[in-house]
Structure 1
Amino acid sequence: MAATRKKNKAGRRILAAGAGLATVGALVAALPAGAAQGSAEAGHGNGKGWGRMVDVQLLSFNDLHGTLEPAAGSSGQVTRVKEDGTTEKVDAGGVEYLATHLREARKGNRYSITAAAGDMIGASPLVSGLFHDEPTVHALNRLDLDVTSVGNHEFDEGAAELRRMQYGGCHPTAGCFGEEKGFKPFRGADFPYLAANVTVEKTGRPVLDPTFVWEKDGVRIGFIGVTLEGTPNVVTAEGVKGLKFGDEVETINKYTKILERKGVKSIVALVHEGGMPASGAYNYNCDGDGDGTGEGVSGAIVDIAKNVSPQVDALVTGHTHQAYVCTIPDPAGKPRLVTSASSFGKLYTDTTLTYDRRTKDIVRTAVDSANHVVTRDVPKAGDMSRLIKDWNELAAPIANRPQGWIAADINGRGSTAFEKPLGDVIADAQLEGLAPADKGGAQLAFMNPGGIRADLVYKASGSEGDGVVTYGEAFTVQPFTNMMNVVDLSGANVIAALKQQVSGSNLNAVKILQVSKGLTYTLDMTKTGADRVVDGSIKLNGEPIDPSKTYRVAMNEFLAGGGDGFPALATGTNKLVGASDLDLFNAYLAAHSSATAPLAVPAANRITVVQ
């Protein structure tokens, strides 16, 4: 258990065990504003810890995704609103800088907790992903992370691998990494992963600890960690095999009651589910006129926040890779803090929780919070630099291999368009690799947009030269190594899948599939639901898709299982399993580019969008 491994932090925090699981207490409702002000005036500790009122610093972040080095291109930038109302892009992120910022932020704070809201690992760049994310767990240990919830990507390799991340041990097939460099065996996370709403189907017990209590000098802050209930829809079936994912609100409220009985009266919920802010700038005023109605953010987190017990005083969220610090009313109508710190270690949130020693509760009227940029104008943390250097040296023989050449940036993750230039390249690579009769006979290919994890950036990040795409860069774009499937789909189900992009579970958060060359259609965003995909506009090589005809369709195993809200794609038959998506991507780069004829940016003209 984390409590026994991290003996050097026993004075800072504890795990409260119950029935073999860590438990935490619920927050009591905030004091009336007048009482809170009177208490603060009478005996505020100013963070020193000796008065009645104690300032507890909560530093938080989310969705790191193993991004140890600064992300390239737009993935490594945040948007800032300047005083004159204009915006600017700021380079941000990288754990060498994140460590420096967090360590500086903790100075002068006697009570400081660092927490995260999931997806610390998974979909990671090569320096972490090649080693099954052991490097990232090492980095998080050095960051002094106290606690995190699980996210959906923590299940990419299944429950057994997640437990290995928590408890340590060598990988079951790859073995121990870095033995030739004298690395010690992987010891696992020094912090607890919380998975309150993820249970083992056979036993009904949480797959990992549901709750955690941080304690120092009698100050106790409880944490409950959950991931989105819809995790099975965004992870391969194998990754969530044997697991059940419960409702976020019901789970948090359940453990709030349990933990309240344990005497812990202050809670933060770590929720790997999020929202969409009204602005893309990290420092915009999310609350507008300050009425605490939560109008500055929309999406799944709003309903969760409005229904989670009033005993919970703050929600640290993630999953949507957005930045916001908002207040959303709890079921009692009182404003409650909800935060998210973008992704890839580009921001961290600094929240002050004022703790009343007499009531053992957070004075919610005194809670203050803001997002801060992990700028790259500070000294790098030496221990993180050494860690990255060591793992990069192990990865170098593979990571530095040239795979192809590009003429300019080909944007994927950084593109805001429905049809992404890099999405076209990936879909074409899948079609080309699986079109031969002995490879599956594919006639068209679909690629899920969430599986495109980065951009291909022209400017070299290392010594390979501008325009060169290395294996490491290609891996960062396609890190899942999903096996490709080619299946028979009726034309009716091809049409149904395209309509499911904008209906069903994707009605309010559309997921536009990237399509291979030859497939065209019109997307009319002035309409609603499935009607947005214009009937009769779907064509393959200029011919309308025939609902009664059978087509051979290539897609990764995630989509072939109906992932991302595409049940029509799960109806495929006569399946042939092909090469991995990454192998096909690299093969396409090699076949279609050279130093003298680099791959051009696609026109991205397959989907006609009416706004």
Structure 2
Amino acid sequence: MKRNISVPILTFIFIASCQLSYQPQSVQYADYRIKNPGETDTGIAAFLKPYSDSVHKSMHTVIAMAETALQKKQPEGTLGNFLADALFEMAAEKFNVHIDAAFLNPGGIRMAYIAKGPVSVGNIYEVMPFDNLVALQQLKGNVLQEFLDLTAAKGGWPVAGLTMKINNNKATDIVIGGRPLNANAYYNIVNSDYIVNGGDNCDMLKAIPATITGYLVRDAFIDYFSNWNKQKKKITAKIESRVSYAQ
């Protein structure tokens, strides 16, 4: 049996911040024909087996227990809340600074839920299969407002450290650090490098310097889940009206 498949060819441009990073700016597709596979090379299979066994064992390592299922929803869901908390807390630890708010774009969360029960490393890879990096920016309040308006127009993003309402696709009633958003104040905001480099139409963030240390968003999740397990606590989250629609 022969198949034609489309393989994405990514064109990258150079992006400069506090650390060099690259982001796909366009996607093109080319067709390649895959023929029926031949016989398995037993020598190569034997050579790779120790590595495949190691990966298999690592992916099945349980790092936490979920007390209830965590679900991905907009404008707010328990899975998004817990993951945003993970990014918020682990970024504060890794950057050793006060963090005002942390965000995740819903499209980057690739599973609709984490089931009740054991949570493995493999589950976290399913939730976040991308090698996105944790990125810290200092945003002026008026720029943060523009960013929040974008998230509102997209139905609301997972967030920690901030509450807001969505009214006519705009962010309103924004409270950060217990106070209303100040257009002239500066805030330490955490996103992924994909977002700070303009991904998901976040062009307002591209020109603002970012601190990126090489710490993966996925690793932040794994570390946070593991910390709960070390404290002998089960994973749980609830809806807290972090993002809601105006009545």
Cα separation, 1, equivalents of 2:152 and 2:165: 13
Per-residue deviation, residues 47-87 of structure 1 (Å, max 9, x unmatched): xxxxxxxxxxxxxxxxxxxxxxxxxxxxxxxxxxxxxxxxx
Change (3 A) 1:478 1:580: same
How far does residue 423 in structure 1 lie from its aligned partner after superposition? 1.2
SS at match of 1:559: helix
**What are the equivalent positions in structure 2 for 1:132-147 lying under 5 Å apart?**
144=1, 146-147=3-4
Partner of 2:18: none
Picking from 503, 509, 512, the partner of 2:156 is: 512
Deviation at 1:609, TM superposition (A): 1.7
Name the structure with the higher helix share.
Answer: 2
- Shift of the 444–502 alpha-carbon distance from structure 1 to 2, 3 Å rule, reads closer
Long gaps (5+) in structure 1: 1-143, 160-199, 202-236, 247-269, 271-389, 459-466, 504-509
* 2:34 equivalent in structure 1: none
How is 1:364-403 mapped onto 2 (pairs within 5 angstroms)?
Answer: 393=53, 395-403=55-63
Counterpart for residue 251 of structure 1: none
Q: Deviations over 1:487-539 (max 9, x none)?
A: 11111111100111245xxxxxx2522111x3001113xx3x4xx322xx011
Distance in 2 of aligned mates of 1:450 and 1:601: 20
- 1:240 counterpart SS class: strand
| CA RMSD in angstroms, aligned pairs only | 3.1
1:423 aligns with 2:80: yes
AA at the equivalent of 1:148 = I
Deviation at 1:584, TM superposition (A): 0.7
Tell me how far 1:560 sits from its aligned partner. 0.8
Alpha-carbon shift at residue 244 of structure 1 (Å): 7.2
Query: Aligned with 2:55: secondary structure?
Result: helix
Aligned length: 221
Measure how far apart 1:578 and its partner are. 4.9
For normalisation by structure 2, the TM-score amounts to 0.77
Q: Which amino acid is the alignment partner of residue 600 of structure 1? A: T
Pairs within 5 Å for 1:331-346: none
2:201 is paired with a residue of what secondary structure? coil
Matches within 5 A, 1:521-560: 521-524=164-167, 527=168, 529=169, 532-534=170-172, 537-560=173-196
Calculate percent identity across the aligned residue pairs. 21
Give 1:410 deviation, angstroms: 0.6
Shift of 1:400: 1.5
What's the CA shift for 1:442? 2.4
Counterpart contact for 2:100–2:177, Cα < 8 Å: no
Distance 1:438 1:148, change over 3 A: closer
- Compare relative contact order (CA 8 Å, sep 6+) and give the higher one, 1 or 2: 2
2:171 partner letter: V
Change (3 A) 1:146 1:581: same
Whether the aligned pair in 1 keeps the contact of 2:60 and 2:120 (CA below 8 Å) is yes
Q: Could you tell me which residue of structure 2 aligns to residue 445 of structure 1? A: 102
- Verify: 1:407 aligned to 2:78, yes or no: no
Alpha-carbon offset, residue 545 of structure 1: 1.2
Judge conservation of contact 1:501–1:513 (CA < 8 Å) in 2. Answer: yes
The 3 A distance-change label for structure 1 pair 468 and 560 is: same
Q: Which residue of 2 aligns with 1:586?
A: 222
State the distance in 1 between where 2:175 and 2:209 align: 22
Counterpart of 1:100? none
Deviations along 1:549-603, whole A, 9 cap, x unmatched? 1111111110111111112232432524351101110111112246953111322
Q: Which amino acid aligns with 2:62?
A: P
User: Within 5 A, what are the aligned runs for 1:220-299?
Assistant: 238-240=22-24
What is the CA-CA distance between 1:238 and the residue it aligns to? 2.5
Alpha carbons of structure 1 residues 548 and 592: separation in structure 2 relative to 1, 3 Å: same
Residues 547 and 404 of structure 1: CA distance in aligned 2, closer, same or farther (over 3 Å):
same
CA shift for structure 1 position 541: 2.5
Following TM superposition, by how much is the alpha carbon of 1:435 offset from its aligned partner in structure 2, in angstroms? 1.4
1:94-493 to 2 correspondence within 5 Å? 144=1, 146-150=3-7, 154=8, 158=10, 238-240=22-24, 393=53, 395-412=55-72, 415=73, 417-436=74-93, 438-454=95-111, 455-458=113-116, 467-493=117-143
1:550 to 1:571, Cα distance in 2 relative to 1, 3 A? farther
- Point out the structure with max Rg over C-alpha: 1
Q: Following TM superposition, by how much is the alpha carbon of 1:444 offset from its aligned partner in structure 2, in angstroms?
A: 1.1
Q: Secondary structure at the match of 1:533?
A: strand
Looking at secondary structure, tell me which structure has more strand per residue. 2
Equivalent residue of 2:122, what SS?
helix
Q: Deviations over 1:107-155 (max 9, x none)?
A: xxxxxxxxxxxxxxxxxxxxxxxxxxxxxxxxxxxxx4622334xxx45
2: distance between equivalents of 1:426 and 1:603?
13
Work out the CA distance in 2 between the residues paired with 1:437 and 1:594.
Answer: 19
SS in 1 for 2:24: coil
Cα pair 2:152 2:166 within 8 Å, conserved: no
- The alignment partner of 2:22 has SS state of coil
* Cα distance change of structure 1 residues 433 and 594 upon mapping to structure 2, 3 Å threshold: closer
